[in-house]
Structure 1
Amino acid sequence: MMVPAPRLLKTVALAGLPLSLLAAAAPGWTIFCLLAGLAVIAIVITDALRASQSWQGLELCGPPMTRLAKDRPGKLEIKLRHSDATERRVRLALPWPEELTAHPEELSLMLPPGQAWCLGEWTLCPHRRGRYLIHTAGVETDSPWGFWRVRRQQPLRLEIRVYPNLARERTPLASLFLRRGMVGVHAVRQVGKGREFELLREYLPGDSYEDVHWKATARRARPITKVYQIEKTQEIYVLLDASRLSGRPAARTLQMGAAADTPTAHIETAFERYLTAALVLGLAAEQQGDHFGLLSFSDKIERFVRARNGRHHYQTCRDALYTLMPQEVAPDFDEVATFLRLRLRRRALLIFLTSLEDPLMAESFSRNLEMLCRQHLILVAMLRPPLALPIFSSAEAQNVDDLYLHLAGHLQWWKLQELERSLARRGVRLTLLDQEELSAGLVSQYLTIKRRQLL
């Protein structure tokens, strides 16, 4: 595609108009003006025919993958070069998705002569996590004589991955993730005696009878005691509910646009909070030397990453979750329980991030606990509903409508309390957390379980 350049418009204005006036004022100069006009037209047409030469030797190169965090600015660099011996001006634009804000919208670069690379840079701010592919780039350059601007779609392969933003979640937990060497380290008494068998030794006065190894005692004809050691590496699994209740808004942030009367709303769902909390908990498990795994489910198993440790494994967990979105279906806890019974042979800490406000879902979840709580330690965390509070713990009611709202919230809170007591009888702990303290609360409970050797 070609469009007139400013040089062509200036040429028409500076040559065409005077020649037309000269031919009208002096008829004897008509032939000369006609030939001069034809010469200008021939030059312009020749430049248009040679416009295809502008693309010879032009190359675009971009990074194969760019990783960004949601709502955090990042850089994207594109390299261009051409094989001409003269300097060339190039305009470059990319078809950005609506979820990405790019500044500037287009780049205007002067490519140096020869084979030198020229670098173009955009500042990107993603507003939604996911995977975005860009296959083409819009490029505009000047024709050889500059009378035309030639536009073309140039093939380009770019992949942009937007991950959850953990900066806000890690701030309250900064002391956990800081590595300050071994300065000031002191011994702390470890609660519990451990569960992993270490060795056999002869019985000493004061040993518990439950630690006596009766078969070894019978073989050796003297009392033998089992010695245990504290587990150094345990398995932690976070189970993310990706069903319809997880897609409800958890927070609403209004960001004013260009006009004051046209605000743009960015709604954060409960599932986004689950994702960030799960990844922060994975960092905490890595710090403690435990193995961390993930499972997401809706009416089926969506993703499953077996528990391991290390930086590469954490990248695998991020890649498994960054494109996952909640589905408009009800969760199938029967499928989850069966899957875990078949896949997990070792005792593990299972942390469910779900919502049990619906009585049917709560009943289904409680029914399937019998299959899991005998082998695993289970913790359930859910976001506290906004009105689920005791009736006299919030602000006073201003009118009748507020009174009914507080009464409904009290009934909801009472049902959750009953569910918590019902789960506690099975050894399962239910925790209601506010959205701001979800990550910190999960990490705190995990460290408490680790310290008390409950797993």
Structure 2
Amino acid sequence: MIYPSGRAVWAAAAGAVPAFLVALALPSFWYLGLLWSCLLLAFLAVDAAAGRGRASLNASIDAPQQVGVGGEFSVQIAARHSGPRAAEARVGHDARLAPVSDSGGTLLPTPGGGSLDLRFQALRRGIASFDRLWVRWRGPFGLVWNQVVLPVESKVAVLPDVSSARGEALTLLQRATLAEGHAQRRAGQGREFDALKDYQPGMGRRMIDWKRSARHGKLLAREFRIEENNNIVLAIDSGRLMCEPVDGVPKVDRAVTAALLSAFIALKGGDMVSLFGFDARPRVSSGAVRGPASFAMIQKRAAEIDYSSEETNFTLALRTLAARLDRRSLVIIFTDFVDPISAELMLRTVGRLTERHLVLFMLMKDTELEGLADMPPRSGEDVARAVVAGGLLRERQVVIGRLRLLGAHVIEANHNRLGPALVERYLQFKQEDLL
């Protein structure tokens, strides 16, 4: 793209006044006033021709792979071209990022091109992207801008900040003093061989170890155990209800923060952790990982859980999740619901999931409804609001009661205590050998 610069506009405006005076003073020689315009057009043509080399322009963006919410980071733009070195650049970004000062500037000259450092701040969790890069430079007379729009693809994972709650979770972990290497003994359910025992009537024939039985002259059966590396699944609902804000922050962001906090503790304790995000259909699914070094990968996959305006399809999501689990797991579901009617399909699916797995629902207290229900009745409208809010809260408790009857565990905590409450319950499960 070629377009005139501000210098060309001012030059054209400056030449218009003398041309008008010449035409006014010498009407028969009016064409002399066009000499300045023709001269300016000639210089513009020279500047445009000097912009050759746009095809050889090559630019790149260097940005960090991940950054915390609210953090600032640097982005380096490097451009290489055969034309003039004095150039300007501007980068296009999405709404998750905001420039600290400006999103563009003048490229500092380097061998073969130029470079520019910009500062950005991460505003929202998710996968932020830089999608376009504008580079422009002037001709030798400064009358024409030569501009090129280059498509680029640079992504930055904006991760939630769990540093504030990590200290409290570590304190809870130290109190619990997880016994490393402790094994849960559930004969016939585990996969790890534990010991041989005398065969007893009623045991399955598949448990008999025929080779060792022949060696000892009596029937011996294999006893298995469930190892300590339990399978923890963090299922996060990112549907419409979970994208509503609580105290200025979307519920899904608070759920992701609590999930990452529990993942950090579970990986520290030797368990296996996987992440599952869904709304109208499954969106994010990570494989099970183990060890503290895998926490960075879980963080990055959590950033892929995006905001959604679609209704949550619990039937599709939970059935898909159940089909992928080949062993007993602790399934932690972060979700929200309004009334028993909207939660009916979820209740039907949960009943099948609790038959094999340990299911825990993490819910955030609706402080807005509780405030309306407790509001002093100063007018008729206040009474109506309190009655409606109280009815919604009672219906919510009906759904929670039905979940517990189906065998699921439910935690309803304040949004600022969601993570610590989950860690406490997880450690309690570990101590009671429920996983």
Deviation for aligned residue 1:79: 1.2
Pair 1:101 & 2:124 matched: no
| 1:404–1:237 distance in 2 versus 1, CA, 3 Å | same
| Runs of 5+ unmatched residues, structure 1 | 179-183, 204-213, 253-267
Determine the C-alpha separation between the residues in 2 that align with 1:111 and 1:185: 58
Match of 2:306 in 1: 324
Match of 2:153 in 1: 158
* Contact 1:238 1:278 survives alignment (8 Å): yes
After TM superposition, list the pairs within 5 Å mapping 1:16-415 onto structure 2. Answer: 44=43, 47-48=46-47, 50-53=49-52, 55=54, 58-63=57-62, 66-83=65-82, 88-102=85-99, 103-112=101-110, 114-115=111-112, 118-131=114-127, 134-144=130-140, 146-163=141-158, 165-167=159-161, 169-176=162-169, 194-195=184-185, 199-200=194-195, 231-252=227-248, 268-309=249-290, 311=293, 314-315=296-297, 318-319=300-301, 322=304, 324-333=306-315, 335-387=316-368, 389=370, 394=374, 396-415=376-395
Please tell me the residue identity of whatever aligns with 2:415. Q
Deviation for aligned residue 1:451: 3.0
TM-score w.r.t. the length of structure 2 is: 0.74
| Runs of 5+ unmatched residues, structure 2 | 199-206
| 1:306–1:327 distance in 2 versus 1, CA, 3 Å | farther
**Number of aligned positions between the proteins:** 412
TM-score w.r.t. the length of structure 1 is: 0.71
1:95-147 superposed Cα distances (whole Å, 9 cap, x missing partner): 344443223132023424x43x6331222234444445555432222212x24
* Contact 2:168 2:420 survives alignment (8 Å): no
Deviation for aligned residue 1:414: 3.7
Q: Determine helix, strand or coil for the equivalent of 1:453.
A: coil
* Contact 1:100 1:127 survives alignment (8 Å): yes
Match of 1:264 in 2: none
Which of the residues 401, 415, 423 maps onto 2:403?
Answer: 423
Q: Determine helix, strand or coil for the equivalent of 1:94.
A: strand
1:331-352 superposed Cα distances (whole Å, 9 cap, x missing partner): 333x344334432120000111
Which of the residues 422, 431, 434 maps onto 1:451?
Answer: 431
Please tell me the residue identity of whatever aligns with 1:437. R
Deviation for aligned residue 1:235: 0.5
| 1:285–1:349 distance in 2 versus 1, CA, 3 Å | same
* Contact 1:348 1:376 survives alignment (8 Å): yes
| 1:91–1:338 distance in 2 versus 1, CA, 3 Å | closer
| 1:192–1:94 distance in 2 versus 1, CA, 3 Å | closer
Deviation for aligned residue 1:8: 8.8
| 1:299–1:57 distance in 2 versus 1, CA, 3 Å | closer
* Contact 1:295 1:304 survives alignment (8 Å): yes
Which region of structure 1 is more displaced relative to structure 2, 346-355 or 378-387? 378-387
Percent identity reads 17
Please tell me the residue identity of whatever aligns with 1:93. R
Determine the C-alpha separation between the residues in 1 that align with 2:177 and 2:242: 42
| 1:221–1:409 distance in 2 versus 1, CA, 3 Å | farther
Deviation for aligned residue 1:435: 1.7
Determine the C-alpha separation between the residues in 2 that align with 1:55 and 1:126: 33
Query: What is the CA RMSD across the aligned residues, in angstroms?
Result: 4.7
Deviation for aligned residue 1:78: 0.4
Please tell me the residue identity of whatever aligns with 2:409. R
Q: Determine helix, strand or coil for the equivalent of 2:232.
A: strand
Please tell me the residue identity of whatever aligns with 2:104. E
* Contact 2:332 2:361 survives alignment (8 Å): yes
* Contact 2:92 2:130 survives alignment (8 Å): yes
Please tell me the residue identity of whatever aligns with 2:274. G
* Contact 2:340 2:399 survives alignment (8 Å): no
Q: Determine helix, strand or coil for the equivalent of 1:233.
A: coil
* Contact 1:71 1:127 survives alignment (8 Å): yes
Match of 2:4 in 1: 3
Deviation for aligned residue 1:277: 2.6
Determine the C-alpha separation between the residues in 2 that align with 1:132 and 1:285: 28
| 1:151–1:201 distance in 2 versus 1, CA, 3 Å | same
Determine the C-alpha separation between the residues in 2 that align with 1:398 and 1:280: 43
Which of the residues 409, 431, 434 maps onto 2:414?
Answer: 434
* Contact 1:239 1:353 survives alignment (8 Å): yes
* Contact 2:61 2:78 survives alignment (8 Å): yes
Determine the C-alpha separation between the residues in 1 that align with 2:346 and 2:37: 85
